[in-house]
Structure 1
Amino acid sequence: MKIVGIIAEFNPFHNGHKYLISKAKEVCNADAAVIVCSGNYVQRGMPAIINKTSRCEMAMLNGADLVIELPVVYSTASAELFATASIALLDSLNCIDYLCFGCETDSIDLLNTVAEILINEPKEYKDLLTLNLKTGISFPKARAKALDEYFKKYNLDYSLNINSNNYAKYPSDITSNSNLDINTFINQPNNILGIEYIKALMRFNSKINPVPLKRLGAGYHSLDTGTKLASATGIRTAMANKDNISGLLPDNCLNIIKNHTTIEYNDFSTVLGSKLLSMDTLDHIEGINQDLSNRIANNKYNFTDIETFIPMLQSKNYTYSAISRALLHIILDIKTDDIKEFVNNNYAMILGFTKKSGVLSEISKSTKIPLVSKFATFYKEADNNQRKMLDINLKADNLYRMIYMNKTSEILPTEFQRQIIIK
């Protein structure tokens, strides 16, 4: 059986996701698609607009054969940690043949080249990075500028001696293109994640083959909903404005969304406000250094809600998403030590699977980590590390559930009550 892995958030599931799953199976000649998906909180540092079980159902109605939840400490982490933990989870299944992901480019050579430079950090690149950081710009901007200068200044074929058996060498057609804008390339959201996926595959010496698919339709941050391939950002904005989203999602997903009240980040404002007033120090929280901690402390008495608080903290060193993640980590009490402790996942929490694919049976023969289909049973049997991770997830899910029920008066099952979806 050939299996393709996909890392996603489905916030919400839309036509582009349906295309990705279908095209991934086609291009990889795969019999099944295994999805590693964020749970009730996503990588941009906010709650998912629809709960994880409903998003899993959307995916399974549109080609997903197995959906595994990415633990919340990683689903809300930086792009690098998000990618590393997702790849660790897929790699630990020991039967995933391909990793398919959408990108603004479909050049695997270019993605591999940049990934290897960032992993190995040759001296010439590090010198350029240091010079750019000294100008006072943020690290992401300094890195992008250094890469752009490095590509244009050096012939990679002779300046690097990196031995890679599984990934493309530095191809001359890339290095000879003086018009190549690496600065733009490295700042495109899907390219960033694609590079991080490949970096993780390289670090794990994984046998999984990366397969980029060029993104179609609206850009990642585009608000344009005039195309059937609108972005998740555009769809979320349209939903918040009560605009018509028919045609932007598969019909079977539209029906699910219509039956649920969406969750917004500001729904968590009271929780964050209370935390800001009661916590003496924030240095132990993931994503918060002393400088950001001071900025939060200096502004906390101006806090009214999350969406207006984030811009108060922004600067050239802190992007909107980075601050959003940091504030969510305060809400969920996710500590830096939690991130370090669990990066190598040691269980797979199943949200749903299809019987006809046979993929769960195939994985059960190859993996050494627990495949969890019953939370309550596994919770009793879990070791100390597993229990700690489960407790962090449980606390986060209980908060999401409480806020949803307070907003809607509808009942969501607890993790101990939740049934996995079987199609």
Structure 2
Amino acid sequence: MKTVGVVVEYNPLHNGHAYHLQESKRQTGAEAAVAVMSGHFLQRGEPAIVNKWARTEMALRAGVDLVLELPFVFAVRNAEIFSYGAVATLHATGVVDTLCFGSESGKIDWMVKLARHLTVEPESFKDKIRQALDSGVSYPTAYGLAVNDFAASQGLSPGVNVSEPNNILGLGYCVALERLKSPIVPATIQRTKAGYHQSHITDNRIASATALRKLIFEKDLSAIKPYVPGATYDILNRFAVAGHFPMSWDLFFPYLQSMMIANQPDELQFILEITEGLENRIMKTMPHAGSFDSLMDQLKTKRYTWNRLQRVLLYTLFRLTREKTARAGSEPAYIRVLGFTDKGRSLLRKMKDKSSLPVITRIGQVKHPMLDLDIRAGMMYAMGLPEQLREREKLRDYWQAPVQL
């Protein structure tokens, strides 16, 4: 059974995602689809608008056959680590033939060629990134400049804006495939009508997840109805009625403030990605911030992008130090199943023989520091829920079986 892999967050799943999934199957000739999906917290350093079980159901109803969780330690990291963790998980299943992702360029050749040269990044490439960062630009921009410069020196100029978010992720996926020497074949579909960060809507059916979240918070859930599959809307409505939706950083801001009050700047310097005295800037700003967005507005600079700062604050909320991250490891330690269809069940049977990692459906099946972080992420996510829901939801990872269609 030919199978395509996709890397997703589905925050929430919208018509553009549904199109990508359908095209991924069509263009690769796949009979089945496996999705690696972020859990409760996402790559931009924010909580998912609704929990991973709801988003798993959205994926299955949209045509995904097997949903696997991307561990927290990869899901909330920069593009390089995020893409490696996702690809390594798909590779470990032993059942995925192709990987199809969206990109602004819509072309795979330049990514594959560059990936072969960037499996081990040359010192000149790293120097170019450092020089660009020293000039005050953000990391995505610095990375794009370094890639363009390196490509030109190798006669491989891609002729595209590498610093576009999906282009960067796509190149990261291809580099990960090269590093793993994976037989998985990469493919890409051009992202159209709505950019990754686009907060305004210019089409009557397609809008970015960013724009949809904005609509939900500024208007109401019904405002997104034209832009999402019916199943997505029904699931979100069901969770909203139950009090589980929508989730946002504002719900966790009091816990972040408490963390800051209880700590000194020197205790924060060991938090992941806190460098160059950023801990002092955060501690100085915190007392004057009345909300999460207010804090972010005061912290943001040309050097520190919104997404990077959100990730740093998320690491602070979890007290995710470099030591804890190192203990969790840099390679996936297991494959956790969040949901499946009948076809997905067939894939799971194949994975019993072909997977290079333990496949788990219940968390009691594996003990590992990486899984501990996933469990803690679930507990923290529950703290953003109404008080009457927290106690049961904090332990949901222990009792929730995979979603089945």
TM (norm. structure 1) is 0.86
Name which of structure 1's ranges 55-64 and 16-25 shifts more when overlaid on structure 2: 16-25
Q: Report the alpha carbon displacement of residue 267 of structure 1 after superposing the two structures with TM.
A: 0.6
Task: Decide whether the 8 Å contact of 1:44 with 1:76 is kept in 2.
Answer: yes
Question: How do residues 303-382 of structure 1 correspond to structure 2 at under 5 angstroms?
Answer: 303-340=289-326, 341-357=328-344, 358-375=346-363, 377-378=364-365, 382=366
Task: Measure the CA separation in 2 of the matches of 1:132 and 1:27.
Answer: 38
Question: How do residues 104-115 of structure 1 correspond to structure 2 at under 5 angstroms?
Answer: 104-115=104-115
Q: Report the alpha carbon displacement of residue 339 of structure 1 after superposing the two structures with TM.
A: 3.0
Residues 131, 353 of structure 1: alpha-carbon distance in 2 compared, 3 angstrom cutoff: closer
Task: Decide whether the 8 Å contact of 1:84 with 1:343 is kept in 2.
Answer: no
Q: Could you say which residue in structure 2 is the equivalent of 1:302?
A: 288
Q: Could you say which residue in structure 2 is the equivalent of 1:278?
A: 262
Task: Decide whether the 8 Å contact of 2:133 with 2:303 is kept in 1.
Answer: no
Q: Report the alpha carbon displacement of residue 217 of structure 1 after superposing the two structures with TM.
A: 2.1
Name which of structure 1's ranges 105-114 and 52-61 shifts more when overlaid on structure 2: 105-114
1:102-143 deviation per Cα after TM superposition (whole angstroms, max 9, x unaligned): 111121112223434444445765665565455444443333
| Mapped pair 1:62 → 2:62 | yes
Residues 125, 267 of structure 1: alpha-carbon distance in 2 compared, 3 angstrom cutoff: closer
Residues 221, 415 of structure 1: alpha-carbon distance in 2 compared, 3 angstrom cutoff: same
1:223-273 deviation per Cα after TM superposition (whole angstroms, max 9, x unaligned): 233431211001111111124111211001101111222101111011000
Q: Could you say which residue in structure 1 is the equivalent of 2:396?
A: 414
Aligned length, in residue pairs: 392
Residues 139, 117 of structure 1: alpha-carbon distance in 2 compared, 3 angstrom cutoff: farther
**Which of these two proteins has the greater Rg computed from alpha carbons?**
1
Residues 148, 347 of structure 1: alpha-carbon distance in 2 compared, 3 angstrom cutoff: closer
Task: Decide whether the 8 Å contact of 1:217 with 1:227 is kept in 2.
Answer: no
Task: Decide whether the 8 Å contact of 1:283 with 1:290 is kept in 2.
Answer: no
- What is the percent sequence identity of the aligned residues? 32
Q: Could you say which residue in structure 2 is the equivalent of 1:262?
A: 246
Task: Decide whether the 8 Å contact of 2:200 with 2:211 is kept in 1.
Answer: yes
Question: How do residues 36-75 of structure 1 correspond to structure 2 at under 5 angstroms?
Answer: 36-75=36-75
1:75-97 deviation per Cα after TM superposition (whole angstroms, max 9, x unaligned): 11111111111111111112211
Secondary structure in structure 1 of the residue aligned to 2:102? strand
Matched letter for residue 108 of structure 1:
I
Name which of structure 1's ranges 69-78 and 357-366 shifts more when overlaid on structure 2: 357-366
Task: Decide whether the 8 Å contact of 1:73 with 1:338 is kept in 2.
Answer: no
Task: Decide whether the 8 Å contact of 1:404 with 1:410 is kept in 2.
Answer: no
Q: Report the alpha carbon displacement of residue 410 of structure 1 after superposing the two structures with TM.
A: 10
Task: Measure the CA separation in 2 of the matches of 1:352 and 1:129.
Answer: 40
Secondary structure in structure 1 of the residue aligned to 2:68? strand
Q: Could you say which residue in structure 2 is the equivalent of 1:251?
A: 230
Task: Measure the CA separation in 2 of the matches of 1:334 and 1:245.
Answer: 35
1:277-325 deviation per Cα after TM superposition (whole angstroms, max 9, x unaligned): 1123112211212421121122222232222111222223211100000
Residues 363, 133 of structure 1: alpha-carbon distance in 2 compared, 3 angstrom cutoff: same
| 1:189 equivalent among 165, 176, 182 | 165
Name which of structure 1's ranges 210-219 and 46-55 shifts more when overlaid on structure 2: 210-219
Task: Measure the CA separation in 2 of the matches of 1:394 and 1:107.
Answer: 38
TM (norm. structure 2) is 0.90
Task: Measure the CA separation in 2 of the matches of 1:127 and 1:40.
Answer: 35
Residues 411, 251 of structure 1: alpha-carbon distance in 2 compared, 3 angstrom cutoff: farther
Matched letter for residue 258 of structure 2:
S
1:33-66 deviation per Cα after TM superposition (whole angstroms, max 9, x unaligned): 1110001111100100011000000110010100
Task: Decide whether the 8 Å contact of 1:37 with 1:70 is kept in 2.
Answer: yes
Task: Decide whether the 8 Å contact of 1:100 with 1:210 is kept in 2.
Answer: yes
Q: Report the alpha carbon displacement of residue 69 of structure 1 after superposing the two structures with TM.
A: 0.8
Task: Measure the CA separation in 2 of the matches of 1:403 and 1:135.
Answer: 39
Task: Measure the CA separation in 2 of the matches of 1:192 and 1:207.
Answer: 21
Q: Could you say which residue in structure 2 is the equivalent of 1:242?
A: 219
Task: Measure the CA separation in 2 of the matches of 1:88 and 1:363.
Answer: 15
Matched letter for residue 26 of structure 1:
R
Q: Report the alpha carbon displacement of residue 356 of structure 1 after superposing the two structures with TM.
A: 3.4
Task: Decide whether the 8 Å contact of 2:252 with 2:383 is kept in 1.
Answer: no
Task: Measure the CA separation in 2 of the matches of 1:145 and 1:273.
Answer: 36
Task: Measure the CA separation in 2 of the matches of 1:129 and 1:78.
Answer: 15
Question: How do residues 167-178 of structure 1 correspond to structure 2 at under 5 angstroms?
Answer: 170=156
Residues 328, 92 of structure 1: alpha-carbon distance in 2 compared, 3 angstrom cutoff: same
Matched letter for residue 107 of structure 2:
S
Q: Could you say which residue in structure 2 is the equivalent of 1:13?
A: 13
Residues 131, 347 of structure 1: alpha-carbon distance in 2 compared, 3 angstrom cutoff: closer
Secondary structure in structure 2 of the residue aligned to 1:246? helix
| Mapped pair 1:389 → 2:365 | no
Name which of structure 1's ranges 128-137 and 312-321 shifts more when overlaid on structure 2: 128-137
Structure 1 gap segments, 5+ residues each: 158-169
| Mapped pair 1:404 → 2:388 | no
